[in-house]
Structure 1
Amino acid sequence: MADTEKTKKKVYDFIVVGAGVQGSFTAYQLAKKKKKTLLIEQFTLPHTRGSSHGQTRMIRKAYEQDLYTHMMDEGYGLWATLEREAGVTLYRRTGLLVMGPEKSQSYIGFKNSLEKNQIPMVVLTPDNFHQHIPNVVLADGDGAFVDTTAGILYADRALKVVQGQFEKLGGVLKDQEKVTDIKPGPMVTVTTSAGVYQAKGVVITAGPWANKVLLHTGIQLPLQVVKINVCYWKEKVEDTYHVKKRFPCFLLCEGEEAKDHIYGLPSNEYPGLMKICYHSGSQTDPDQRDKQTDKSDIDILRRYITKHLPGLIPEPAVVESCMYTVTPDHHFVLDCHPAYDNIVIGAGFSGHGFKFGPIIGKLLCELSLGEVPSYDLSPFRIARFQTIIKSPL
């Protein structure tokens, strides 16, 4: 009897593979459209193995590319809608301090984008910087401004809430089920470690495991998985950099200390500890990530904190880990499979995708339903890559 139950195919309108932030919001949007939807996760929920865990993430409109700024205009509204539906606070406004060499391409790009899109901002000068932002030393030649709309998302809470809303809408969430096969066709068959399912459409949002899942569909994308050290630094005097003291998130977009961004979030999840990370990491296999022990990013952070954040002890008190799945151009993949238009792919969020969860869920839902997407998705199409490896099924 048990074997018969296991091999009997259960039929859905849509199956979403991967219950991180993007998959969970996609499933939620499909359920809102009255579609019978199954959301599958390989690990026990909640877990810390992928890219969506952790107590906080940054939310901002400050971007060099207008497209992301425009998407976040709607994204803020969708986060607020989820807050109202669930009756739970998911966002705290703190502002985002953006710093960088005043004449650098990156800093000018951030500043111009906010000005052009009329995003509320405050430009700081070397004369008034310390008055507004105490306990931070602005580097010589650096400019600074604050995106006043920015803040913190409560990530773990948000993931739990959107999954709960999905289930309230009739969605089915199954964890501890690893996908072992996908057979494309008019009805896609998805086999997991615990069962066999069929659906008219499948959405693959498997994060660092995207290429491992896509292998079952005959393609591989140019995705690189990197492990990030998520570092927390102890305040010398408690509450110096605390969210309650109106200390903002910050982003160093360029500088002599680092080739990539350094970003920080005020003390919140761990009392007396500020989250500061380097926006880059070392390549890893998602199933072997604990073997990746590179700490070169921590050395970069130590040097920066010593020079510019005098209220912190320049040695991490807590080091956790996260994974980014990075595309060559650091833009997302939001597209239909090149060979099967009923398989939709959301991947390569390159370390800046969490805040877009609600809008990405909406877009992947639109692609799944064959609707015209709400935004121009040409920057996110698979066709932009020169390298797509097609393998026989």
Structure 2
Amino acid sequence: MSQTFDVIIVGAGSMGMSAGYYLARRGVRTLMIDAFDPPHEEGSHHGDTRLIRHAYSGGAAYVALALEADRSWRDLEEESGQRLLVRSGVLNMADRTQGRFQQRIQDAQGAGVRVERLDADEINRRWPGIRLPHSYEAMYEPDAGYLHSERCIAAYRKLALAEGAMLLPYTRVQHIEADGGAVRVLTRVGDFAADRLILTAGAWFPSLQPFVTLPIRAVRKTVGWFQSEPGLFDTGAFPGFTLAADNGGYYGFPSIAGGGVKIGRHDGGLPWRPGETPVPFGHCREDESDLRRTLEAFMPQAAGRLVSSAVCKYELTPDEHFIIDKHPAHENVIVAGGFSGHGFKFSSAVGKALAELALGKRPSVDLGLFALSRFDTTAIGGENL
């Protein structure tokens, strides 16, 4: 089996599926290849929900990207006829001595994002389920919320295929060749050629070596859903949240349809490599204990029995900023990775930007912060191997 396309996308998760949709709707002959069948549980997009925030750390470029992503998610909702984004509000909490919010508030207000700075007394009054020490404060974003992540992937998939894109699920890439003109992607079901190639392989980027070697490390992450007091933590009464605590950074969601408060830890995690089976939730004592201890300290009425759990993967760059750029050795190859931990919310905007890059257009969002040049590119580019 040998076919030719305009663009091939390797990795059809959040970024890849979004890019496939935006290319296909422009009439671009697009092939998406994935080692599994998206949406699936082998990447970073499962687990029901992802936060979407606009008052972002990292500067104005992130704020602009978040706002563009929000607009694109609304467009996807209209196009798909599904509710994908829930504006629950997001409460970002931290000890005031850390000074986490001042610059974020300035950047957000400069972009017209609504934010409130709240002290512990006000937080505890508004959300009786929270018990925040007086040394803490928060930045509240009333227009933020969460995305139904797997629904988002499924919506992009359905629309991309309807626009003529092709998807090869359960297909591992065995080899990639680029000679300055066309690129060739070799798989067990055939070889495929295209003028341009987008690599969005997530935590699986190491499997594409030596064609590309990115400074990305993958780690195993866990989340848990805990039985919570009805009414206090339900959707509509309780926001999404982030929490910078003494024992680490955490994020979470209200109880959706009685499923329990979802909470995960942002920092830490065990190393993971493609091909390894991540150890199940509960293998490490801290899988549950870290989450439970944090709930008991700050939201004790949400620290009931563990209702369910999940294991996923982060893919992190050294500075935890994304990589979105051309391959240093091949102008017609675009690489996009290092998104985990905070990338899903941006995938609607990133997919659109990747489509624009593949078509030789200037992206509608500023991608300068995500350039490969901030790393040693001599160790990144592969040869025509």
Alignment TM class, shorter chain as reference? over 0.9
Q: Aligned residue for 1:310?
A: 300
Residue 25 of structure 1: how far off its partner (Å): 0.5
The range that moved more, 128-137 or 197-206, is 128-137
CA distance, structure 1, for counterparts of residue 18 and residue 79 of structure 2: 14
Residue 121 of structure 1: how far off its partner (Å): 2.0
Q: Aligned residue for 1:243?
A: 235
Matched, 1:138 2:138: no
Residue 17 of structure 1: how far off its partner (Å): 0.7
Q: Which amino acid aligns with 1:342?
A: N
Q: Aligned residue for 1:3?
A: none
Report sequence identity in percent. Answer: 32
Matched, 1:125 2:110: no
The range that moved more, 313-322 or 184-193, is 313-322
The range that moved more, 225-234 or 286-295, is 286-295
Q: Aligned residue for 1:57?
A: 50
Unaligned 5+ residue runs, structure 2? none
Unaligned 5+ residue runs, structure 1? 1-5
Matched, 1:15 2:8: yes
CA distance, structure 2, for counterparts of residue 107 and residue 340 of structure 1: 40
**8 Å Cα contact 1:205-1:345 kept in structure 2:** yes
Residue 274 of structure 1: how far off its partner (Å): 0.7
CA distance, structure 1, for counterparts of residue 110 and residue 288 of structure 2: 35
Q: Deviations over 1:312-351 (max 9, x none)?
A: 2366332211101000111111001000011111111031
User: In the TM superposition, what are the counterparts of 1:80-119 in structure 2 within 5 Å?
Assistant: 80-119=74-113
Which of 195, 198, 211 aligns to 1:200? It is 195
Which of 282, 286, 291 aligns to 1:296? It is 286
Q: Per the alignment, in what secondary structure is the counterpart of residue 301 of structure 1? A: helix
The 1:342/1:46 distance shift into structure 2, 3 A limit, reads: same
Residue 391 of structure 1: how far off its partner (Å): 5.1
CA distance, structure 1, for counterparts of residue 166 and residue 222 of structure 2: 33
CA distance, structure 2, for counterparts of residue 391 and residue 129 of structure 1: 52
Q: Which amino acid aligns with 2:270?
A: S
The range that moved more, 382-391 or 223-232, is 382-391
**8 Å Cα contact 1:78-1:359 kept in structure 2:** yes
**8 Å Cα contact 2:56-2:62 kept in structure 1:** yes
After superposition, the CA RMSD in angstroms is: 1.8
Q: Which amino acid aligns with 1:195?
A: G
**8 Å Cα contact 1:21-1:159 kept in structure 2:** yes
Matched, 1:191 2:181: no
Q: Aligned residue for 1:274?
A: 261
Which of 17, 36, 48 aligns to 1:43? It is 36
CA distance, structure 2, for counterparts of residue 189 and residue 309 of structure 1: 53
Q: Which amino acid aligns with 1:251?
A: T
Residue 216 of structure 1: how far off its partner (Å): 4.6
CA distance, structure 2, for counterparts of residue 20 and residue 216 of structure 1: 22
The 1:295/1:325 distance shift into structure 2, 3 A limit, reads: farther
Q: Which amino acid aligns with 1:310?
A: P
Residue 23 of structure 1: how far off its partner (Å): 0.1
Q: Which amino acid aligns with 2:135?
A: G
Q: Aligned residue for 1:150?
A: 144
Matched, 1:175 2:181: no
The 1:386/1:285 distance shift into structure 2, 3 A limit, reads: same
Q: Deviations over 1:68-87 (max 9, x none)?
A: 11111111111111111111
The 1:389/1:69 distance shift into structure 2, 3 A limit, reads: closer
CA distance, structure 2, for counterparts of residue 177 and residue 272 of structure 1: 34
Q: Deviations over 1:260-309 (max 9, x none)?
A: x211100116x241101100222111321424744435433222211111
**8 Å Cα contact 1:225-1:324 kept in structure 2:** yes
**8 Å Cα contact 2:50-2:146 kept in structure 1:** yes
Q: Which amino acid aligns with 1:173?
A: L
CA distance, structure 2, for counterparts of residue 134 and residue 374 of structure 1: 42
Residue 257 of structure 1: how far off its partner (Å): 2.7
Residue 145 of structure 1: how far off its partner (Å): 2.8
**8 Å Cα contact 1:91-1:154 kept in structure 2:** yes
**8 Å Cα contact 1:182-1:216 kept in structure 2:** no
Q: Aligned residue for 1:209?
A: 204
CA distance, structure 2, for counterparts of residue 257 and residue 291 of structure 1: 23
**8 Å Cα contact 2:222-2:287 kept in structure 1:** yes
When the two structures are aligned, how many residues end up with a matched partner?
378
CA distance, structure 1, for counterparts of residue 286 and residue 219 of structure 2: 13
Q: Per the alignment, in what secondary structure is the counterpart of residue 97 of structure 2? A: coil
Q: Which amino acid aligns with 2:7?
A: F
**8 Å Cα contact 1:40-1:173 kept in structure 2:** yes
**8 Å Cα contact 1:96-1:250 kept in structure 2:** yes
Q: Deviations over 1:174-233 (max 9, x none)?
A: 1111111111121111111211111001101111111212x152x311100011011111
CA distance, structure 1, for counterparts of residue 382 and residue 112 of structure 2: 47
CA distance, structure 2, for counterparts of residue 337 and residue 142 of structure 1: 44
**8 Å Cα contact 2:324-2:370 kept in structure 1:** yes
**8 Å Cα contact 1:183-1:216 kept in structure 2:** no
**8 Å Cα contact 1:136-1:309 kept in structure 2:** yes
Residue 123 of structure 1: how far off its partner (Å): 2.7
